[in-house]
A and B are shown apart, each in its own frame.
Chain A
Amino acid sequence: FFFLRNLHSATNQARASINGSGSSSGSKGNPFLVPGATVATIFMLGALHARRMYSDKKIEEARDSGIELELQPDVKAKFLMMLPLRFISRFWGFLSSTELPVWLRPYAHRAWARAFHSNLEEVALPLDQYASVKDFFVRSLKEGCRPVDTDQHSLISPVDGTIVRVGELKEGVMIEQVKGFSYSVSSLLGAGSFLPLMAAKDIHQHDGSQQENNIRDESTKSWWRISLASPKLRESSSSRPMKGLFYCVIYLRPGDYHRIHSPVDWNVLLRRHFSGRLYPVNERATRTIKNLYVENERVVLEGKWQEGYIAMAAVGATNIGSIELFIEPSLRTNQPRKKLLQSEAPEERLYEPEGTGVLLKKGDQVGVFNMG
């Protein structure tokens, strides 16, 4: 306010002096306006950045002292909900797919790598072979950069990233998003999911009224609902090894390698695509937006492996709105919204042949996240 008042008085003096001389400057613009606005903007951006750094530092200190932050919806999260995130995401995709002149490509990709800590030594092709930032983003890696763990009793990470949550799903089939808030796995994977815990419960707890319309649903998919129902819930006296349901949530930063691989040898039987929203999924968003992974656009692959049921959900974000499947190249995500308000039902596809689906070996490429 002090700054603006001075600026105002300065402009008045300047105007008075110009009017006083009369002849010389005539209609020349106000000499203070542009530099004043520029200084004010830089000052404001600096203040916002300092505030952001301060709050990030507080969070870091809290985490280091072992304090788990709780869900705190804030004004920014509410503001995000009003933004046309899908339009922003698609526009970002349009910008990042702009073809760069060959001479500029190495500089652009190096700048991206520096900003987001990407490892350029692992990139498969010379940098000038990536025509746009988007091409560089979905880069593959040099042969041998990611050796796959060959232990037949191991499950591998399907992506590069940071472990957000791991654990076993007990009775409640809920995954904690952040301390004080959990989301349900069946919401994440879809109501029609073959999640074994639900399947077993479904069979025992169905009331009569739902029975008929579920029989049709059951008949089309029961052949492997029942086969996947967890023995823990099906036969308590089973001498077979008990089965538990486990989960692992992995966050990929913008600079990470973004191709998705197969965590084990498995048969992918079904794909379910939720159009959803495109909130950011960074650490701050998980602390401020409820049901983030259940709201966002995502592609769920369900199938079976040697130990029973397995599902993999690839969840998009504002800057990375597209999920492409190598096993189903025709799938398109991050499409313009048909219906503005209500959320569309998920779109499903059973992979042929029924009951076998698509066979994937551990480490096979399954899909890729992309910008836009």
Chain B
Amino acid sequence: STVVLVFQAPALKKHKDQLPSEFRFCVEKGDKVRMGEAIGRWHD
């Protein structure tokens, strides 16, 4: 079986003086994951 997630998340901030809030995956194709592990993070 397969689970597909599709979601909105912060992309690049408009203003250069702010930290990039872009969402980033911390996994890649082929990685084994366990429920509860972070697969992506972003900064507020």
Contacts and interface: CB of A to CB of B under 8 A. Distances in A.
Contact of B1 (A167, A244, A315): A315
A154 B41 contact: yes
A169 interface: yes
A168 B31 CA distance: 17
Interface string A156-200: 111111111111110000010000000001001100000110000
A259 B4 contact: no
Given A242-B12, A248-B25, A307 B36 contact: no
Given A156-B35, A165-B29, A242-B13, A313 B8 contact: no
Given A244-B10, A310-B7, A315 B2 contact: yes
A293 interface: yes
Most chain A CB atoms below 10 A, which of B8, B25, B31, B39: B8
B37 A312 contact: no
Interface string B4-44: 11111111111100000111010111111111111111111
Chain B interface residue bracket vs A? 35 or more
The winner among B1, B9, B11, B21 for most chain A CB atoms within 10 A is B1
A206 B34 CA distance: 42
B6 A189 contact: yes
Given A149-B37, A314-B3, A243 B32 contact: no
Contacts of B29: 163-166
B2 A158 contact: no
A244 B42 CA distance: 12
A317 B35 CA distance: 20
Contacts of B31: 162-163
Nearest to B33: A157
A149 B41 CA distance: 11
B39 A243 contact: no
B36 A157 contact: yes
Given A154-B40, A369-B1, A305 B14 contact: no
Interface string A95-108: 00000000000000
B7 A309 contact: yes
A18 interface: no
Contact of B8 (A165, A188, A245): A245
A292 B7 CA distance: 21
A288 to B, nearest CB: 15
B9 to A, nearest CB: 5
A55 B42 CA distance: 41
Contacts of B34: 146, 157, 160
B41 to A, nearest CB: 5
A319 to B, nearest CB: 9
Contacts of A188: 4, 6
Interface stretch (A23-31, A75-83, A249-257, A267-275): A249-257
B5 to A, nearest CB: 5
A314 B39 contact: no
The 9 A-B residue pairs whose C-beta atoms are closest, nearest first, are A308-B8, A244-B11, A154-B38, A310-B7, A149-B38, A242-B11, A146-B36, A157-B33, A148-B36
Interface of A: 146-149, 151, 153-169, 175, 185, 188-189, 195-196, 228, 230, 232, 238-252, 257-261, 263-264, 281, 293, 305, 307-317, 320, 323, 363, 369
